A = this chain, B = another copy of it.
Amino acid sequence: MALFLSTYVNKVDKKGRVSVPARFRAILAAKGFDSVVLLPTVKGDAIDACGMDVMERVMEKIGGFDPFSEDRESYADALMSDAIELPIDGDGRIMVPLDMLENAGIDGQCAFVGRGDSFQLWQPAAFEVRKKQARTRAAKKRASSSELGSDGEGNE
């Protein structure tokens, strides 16, 4: 399965349109989608994005029991009610609702950040900050578990 990798920064124009990176579009298209699902991150500092398949998977896993029960996972409800499905237009762009952009502090520039099976939209500077923190944490972990390639190469 193709993965959403890398980070692309695209422009948000006056009308609120943003080009979805061609790579990401291709992955979505390969899954048969011509739309993106967006929803605010839990923390609210960015926007999660994925294809409809991910939403379906989440639904099955955490919320799919009895659709009318009172005990239904409220988390799932929150996800589903906050999420929006945006069509990708003929030029590969989406129109992100203004309030969603504002919540994430996105304005002018928008970073599309790959996360494997999904991706996120960030205000570029905010993402840099976040990345630095994540990297520090990751470096420690990677040093010990060494995911890439070789065994404990102790790759300084």
Contacts and interface: CB of A to CB of B under 8 A. Distances in A.
A6 B59 CA distance: 14
Interface residues of A, number: 67
A5 interface: yes
Given A5-B85, A6-B85, A147 B58 contact: yes
> In the complex, which of the residues A4, A50, A66, A150 has the most CB atoms of chain B within 10 Å of its own CB atom?
A66
Contact of A150 (B7, B75, B118, B141): B118
A102 interface: no
B5 A138 contact: no
A2 B52 CA distance: 8
Chain A facing B: main interface SS: mixed
Contacts of A109: none
Interface in A94-117: 113-117
Contact of A5 (B48, B84, B154): B84
Contact of A149 (B73, B85, B116, B134): B116
Interface in A16-30: 23
A80 B149 contact: no
